[in-house]
Amino acid sequence: MMITKRLSLILLCLFALNVYSQDHEKTILKTFHSISSHDLLNDAAELTLPKYGGRLSGSPGYQAAAQWVADQLKQAGVKPGLNDGSYLQYFPNAYSDVLTPGSVTLLAGKNNAKKDYKFPDDYFPGSNSATGTVFGEIVYVGFGISAPELGYDDYKDIDIKGKILLMETGVPYTGNDSILQKWEKYSYHRYKFQRAKELGAAGLLYVGKVANPNTSYLEGFVYAHISEQVAEELLDGTNKKYAELSSAIKKSLQPNSFTLNKKVQISAKTKHFPDSRSCNVVGIIEGSDPKLKAEAIILGAHLDAVGSPGCLFPGALDNGSGSVDILAAARALAASEVKPARTVIFVFFGGEECGLYGSKKCVESPVWPKEKVLCMINLDMVGNGTGFHLSNGKSYPDLFRPFAEKNKKYLHRELNSSEYRINYGRPRTDAAVFDKAGYRTLSLWTSGTVKTVYYHHPLDNTDALTPEIMEDAAKLLYLGILDLASDETISAR
């Protein structure tokens, strides 16, 4: 008799527990289903409006976009993330407005026949070019590096005074090991510009048509980014093929600089703002568990893009997509009846494209004690594809597990991961800045690209997005973070 009573009590408890967990799940799914691709696309359309000018960090357009995000967080009931009750965390951020597309003109042959290259098909104006017109003979200078301690000098035995340089980005060393560390300081565009200027170059044709504000503004130094096809064309009549040049230097680690016997003219019109500032937008949802709320999960995405160098570069995929995804996750977590047990902090970084200024500010002036941060999850380019990649998950299986489980149960997308790998080169994402500062990070991006990727390009607009994957990314974050926030088997280090 006694045994039967006890058994029925246990069964009753199990039944109650089951009803509870079913209700709990139903409550969570109610919010889950409220996340829609339609809303995400609308938000991405907002952030890519001309009034934000392509969200160049430091500019009034970026500032307006940051204010829009702060207003959205406030409306959603997400609290300001800074101690002074503000959503905006400021830092210095010089920038330049590119006022016209400028021009790039080749003069070649006996009669100096002119060829005008076209914007935006052939070239982009330099985001931090000086204003003016420069004209001179073209000199190919490889990677534009003088590294005596590495026995490498692209400028050895070549005069570049008053010349226009044709230069590669990056460094000739291709390994990812401690030797790359020695090359790191030479990989910055700013170093290359400075070096070219101090040796007397008049201007620069930088190979790779990628608008990039992560460069220096130098008085009188005019430059443009050209496509590889244009570089190939500039080498016509020499016995060299552009495509083979940089790979030969990389293979031999021997410079190969030479004069092209052709002239080029570059014009640019810009306005530089050396004393500007920019900001991160930071929101916070305090944890619901009295003990666990002392620990936080940081969810980050850069809000800034590359501005309007010659025309609007909308920055929809890079990184309107990540921004609207963490905004959707913030709205869902704030609206959810089931609250995250740990604290969740949302950071929309500024200054990423200018040199990771926003994430550097965030690790220098943390809004939450570092030792109480469980992990930082970064989103960059999460709006074009059919699957997900959540990097570092193989090194942090406890952090990865909730996302893998929720994906398997509710989203059924391909979800891959990878081991954490030290990067010996220069950090190129906000996540890398947190990695370097000793945080555990996961980075989410979309895989299985469906549409053409227009990286730092005028066509990176909302047509370049696949909204369904953005919806699923926000859903994955909502479910995964709820789980991660309440998991007592893991803790901040």
What pairs with residue 116 in β-bridges?
105
CB of 321 to Zn ion, least distance (A): 9
122 vs 318, which CB is nearer to Zn ion? 318
306 vs 345, which CB is nearer to Zn ion? 306
Instruction: Summarize as ranges the residues that interact with Zn ion (CB under 5 A).
Output: 318-319, 380
55 vs 163, which CB is nearer to Zn ion? 55
Contacts of residues 405-410 at CB distance under 8 Å and 24 or more positions apart, as own/partner, are: 405/483, 406/476, 406/479, 406/480, 406/483, 407/476, 410/32, 410/475, 410/479
79 vs 428, which CB is nearer to Zn ion? 428
Q: Which helix (H) or strand (E) holds 296?
A: strand 296-302
- Distance CA(297)–CA(398), nearest Å, equals 14
CB of 65 to Zn ion, least distance (A): 15
CB of 301 to Zn ion, least distance (A): 9
DSSP 362-422: HHHS-SS-GGGEEEEEEE-S-SSSSEEEEETTTT-HHHHHHHHHHIIIII--EEEE-----
CB of 319 to Zn ion, least distance (A): 4
Residue of 99, 130, 105, 136 whose CA lies nearest to 118? 105
- Distance CA(207)–CA(216), nearest Å, equals 16
CB of 432 to Zn ion, least distance (A): 12
CB of 191 to Zn ion, least distance (A): 22
117 vs 434, which CB is nearer to Zn ion? 434
CB of 411 to Zn ion, least distance (A): 23
Residue 483 C-alpha from the chain's centroid: 27
Q: Are 263 and 136 in contact (CB under 8 A)?
A: yes
Which amino acid is present at 234?
L
Cα–Cα distances (Å) from 347 to 120, 283, 389, 491, in that order, read: 33, 7, 21, 21
- Which region, left, alpha or beta, applies to residue 381 given φ > 0 means left and ψ of -120 to 50 means alpha? left
Q: Which helix (H) or strand (E) holds 107?
A: strand 103-108
43 vs 380, which CB is nearer to Zn ion? 380
Which amino acid is present at 35?
I
CB of 136 to Zn ion, least distance (A): 34
318 vs 325, which CB is nearer to Zn ion? 318
Helical packing angle, 37-47 and 60-76, nearest 10°: 150
342 vs 360, which CB is nearer to Zn ion? 360
122 vs 380, which CB is nearer to Zn ion? 380
CB of 215 to Zn ion, least distance (A): 16
Q: Is 330 exposed, middle or buried (0-12, 13-18, 19+ CB in 10 A)?
A: buried
44 vs 134, which CB is nearer to Zn ion? 44
CB of 380 to Zn ion, least distance (A): 4
Peptide bond into 458 cis (omega under 30): no
